């Protein structure tokens, strides 16, 4: 409760600052974007500042960026439930309930020729279940994000270690780096971020499983396939060979890797901008494909995330004046523009969907070999769609259970069996109720090499 009140106080201050700006500048509409971006936040803010000072100033629109990455979904949902709405928000692909509650605007219902032309330009990349959910277009495509592993070469050289190829290698390297680190260097990085298991373990290691915790081919859940990496992570945590699990947010552990204190940390491709711009790396580092469960070449492709861009918040938009609605539309168009995406791509912040952006953008000369490795999609495919957030789930989520296993509070076998049973029962209940079209989650999915 105290945390929520503190968040509200911060937002009230932000709103007060915005009101002060608007009153000081006549005919200026302040559009608030509550943002979850972390990796290229500095670049995004720079580009917004430029737009505010030029096009925005000419058109009487000012975009205010409010950033929150570590607890974004939880905080924003609590605020919206309490009636606090922002003009622009990051709904992403796993918050279908926000759409069902009427918090998200259908972009195709907005009568704005420039906006509709923008939508048409993204038509080849718009996917049902990704950009279209609940029968509505809620966000445009943003980027593809392969997940790999960032490795501190200095620590590996210092400890005479080869780059890890399997999860057994990861554990052994973590042990040696930490034991020789005198409490200053740790083998593996972790975070209090709620998506550590779902994104940086489950999705990241599908090159060994060939399927996810949700299997679209059989319409079933099975978390047991991740036994190898979860038990490896548990071993590293319980032996003190990892840093950050108890007290560091996602940006804080990234900063520790950049400072040279962490040997290995899972890294989506946008982390290139983290280690070159947000927290410039003080160590020599490289990128490798995620280690495999067994020795030898990964039997399947790795996966990339299909990330969507921001959305228009329906209550904020629908209850605005015509002038403010127009300002929201202008801000949304800029934040989805090829020009903005090109500027972020040029500094290694994203891999955009539009090939014309990639082909027509000259990347910064300072981009290192890590960006070449990050952006190599040769053996990467799209991650599967999953209905997790729709489930009437009883009991703890998979993230909570895995965290307890990591800490040694739960045993693997019984906990995962219970997890599978509860998730599958919740899905069957959802299917039997028939209130939601689940067809997009049942399809042939194959990521064989």
pLDDT in tens, 76-90: 999 999 999 999 999
Query: Higher pLDDT residue, 301 or 16?
Result: 301
Please give the pLDDT value at position 174: 98
Between CA 271 and CA 278, with CA 277 as vertex, the angle to 5 degrees is 70
CB 86 within 8 Å of CB 52: no
Question: Above pLDDT 70, what percent of the chain?
Answer: 94
Strand partners, 33: 65, 88
> Residue 16 pLDDT more than 70?
no
| Structure confidence by residue, pLDDT tens digits, 357-386 | 989 999 888 888 999 899 888 899 999 999
pLDDT, tens digit, for every residue of 21-78? Answer: 443 356 899 999 999 998 889 999 999 999 999 999 999 999 999 999 878 999 999 9
- Mean pLDDT for the stretch of residues 248-254: 95
Q: What is the pLDDT of residues 90-139, one digit of tens each?
A: 998 888 889 989 999 999 999 999 999 999 999 999 998 899 988 899 99
Q: How confident is the model at residue 178 (pLDDT cuts 50, 70, 90)?
A: very high
- The average pLDDT across 230-245 equals 98
CA–CA separation, 162 vs 153, rounded Å? Answer: 10
The string of pLDDT tens digits covering residues 190-226 is 999 989 999 999 999 999 999 999 999 999 999 999 9
Contact status, residue 292 vs residue 168, Cβ threshold 8 Å: no
pLDDT tens-digit map of 402-448 = 999 999 999 999 999 999 999 999 999 999 999 888 998 999 999 99
287 pLDDT higher than 60: yes
Instruction: Examine the pLDDT at 393 and tell me if it is beyond 90.
Output: yes
Asked whether the predicted pLDDT for residue 5 surpasses 70, the reply is: no
Residue 196 to residue 201: CA distance in whole angstroms: 7
Average pLDDT over residues 319-338: 98
d(CA 271, CA 255): 11
17 has pLDDT over 70: no
Give the count of alpha carbons within 13 A of 199, CB side only. 21
pTM of the model as a whole:
0.81
Confidence of residue 288 (pLDDT cuts 50, 70, 90): very high
What is d(CA 371, CA 373) in angstroms, rounded to the nearest whole number?
5
Q: What is the pLDDT of residues 156-168, one digit of tens each?
A: 999 999 999 999 9
Residue 46: per-residue pLDDT? 96
Per the prediction, the chain carries an average pLDDT of 92
User: What pLDDT does residue 20 have?
Assistant: 39
Of 204, 201, 442, 165, which Cα lies nearest the Cα of 303? 204
pLDDT band at 14 (very low <50, low <70, confident <90, very high): very low
Q: Using the predicted structure, report yes or no on whether residue 335 has a pLDDT greater than 90.
A: yes
Q: What is the pLDDT of residue 134?
A: 85
Residue 185 has pLDDT above 80, yes or no: yes
The pairs formed by 93-98 with CB atoms below 8 angstroms and a separation of 24 or more are 93/129, 93/130, 93/133, 93/306, 93/307, 93/308, 93/385, 94/386, 94/388, 94/389, 95/389, 96/133, 96/134, 96/387, 96/389, 96/390, 97/389, 97/390
Position 24 scores a pLDDT of 38
Distance CA 202, CA 226 (A): 7
How far is it, in rounded angstroms, from Cα 122 to Cα 140?
Answer: 7
Given CA atoms 65, 67, 258, 309 in this order, what sign does their dihedral have?
negative
Rounded CA separation 265/272 (Å):
12
- Taking only Cα atoms into account, the Rg of the chain, rounded to an integer number of angstroms, comes to 22
């Amino acid at each position: 409760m105290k945390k929520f009140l503190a968040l509200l106080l911060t937002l009230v201050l932000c709103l007060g600052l915005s009101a002060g700006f608007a009153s000081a500048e006549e005919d200026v509409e302040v559009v608030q974007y509550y943002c979850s971006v972390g990796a290229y936040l500095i670049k995004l803010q720079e580009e917004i500042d430029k737009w505010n000072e030029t096009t925005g100033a000419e058109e009487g629109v000012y975009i205010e960026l409010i950033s929150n990455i570590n607890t974004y979904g939880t905080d924003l949902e609590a605020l919206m439930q309490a009636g606090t709405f922002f003009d622009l928000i990051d709904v992403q692909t796993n918050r279908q309930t926000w759409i069902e509650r009427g918090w998200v605007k259908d972009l195709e219902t907005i009568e704005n020729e420039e906006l509709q032309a923008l939508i048409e330009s993204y038509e080849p990349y718009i996917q049902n279940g990704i950009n279209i959910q609940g029968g509505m277009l809620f966000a445009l495509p943003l980027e593809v994000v392969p997940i790999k592993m960032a490795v501190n070469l200095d620590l590996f050289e210092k400890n005479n270690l080869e780059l890890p190829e399997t999860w057994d290698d990861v554990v052994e390297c973590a042990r040696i780096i930490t034991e020789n680190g005198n409490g200053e260097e740790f083998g593996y990085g972790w975070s209090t971020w709620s998506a550590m298991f779902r994104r940086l373990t489950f999705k990241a290691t599908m090159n060994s499983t060939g399927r996810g915790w949700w299997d679209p081919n059989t319409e079933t859940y099975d978390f047991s396939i991740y036994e190898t990496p979860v038990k490896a992570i548990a071993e590293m945590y319980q032996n003190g060979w990892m840093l950050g699990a108890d007290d560091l947010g996602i940006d804080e552990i990234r900063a520790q890797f950049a400072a040279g204190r962490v040997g290995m940390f899972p890294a989506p491709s946008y982390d290139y901008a983290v280690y070159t711009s947000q927290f410039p790396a003080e160590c020599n580092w490289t990128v490798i494909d995620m280690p495999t469960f067994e020795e030898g070449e990964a039997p399947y492709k790795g996966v990339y995330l299909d990330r969507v861009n921001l959305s228009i918040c329906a209550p904020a938009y629908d209850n605005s004046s015509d002038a403010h609605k127009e300002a929201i539309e202008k801000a949304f168009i800029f934040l989805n523009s090829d020009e903005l995406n090109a500027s972020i791509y040029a500094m290694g912040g994203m891999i955009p969907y539009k090939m014309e952006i990639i082909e027509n953008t000259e990347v910064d000369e300072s981009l290192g070999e890590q960006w070449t490795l990050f952006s190599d999609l040769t053996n990467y495919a799209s991650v599967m769609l999953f209905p997790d957030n729709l489930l009437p789930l009883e009991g703890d989520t998979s993230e909570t259970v895995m965290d307890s296993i990591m800490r040694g509070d739960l045993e693997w076998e019984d906990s995962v069996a219970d997890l599978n049973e509860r998730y599958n029962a919740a899905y069957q209940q959802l299917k039997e109720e028939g209130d939601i079209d689940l067809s997009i989650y049942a399809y042939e999915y194959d990521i064989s090499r």
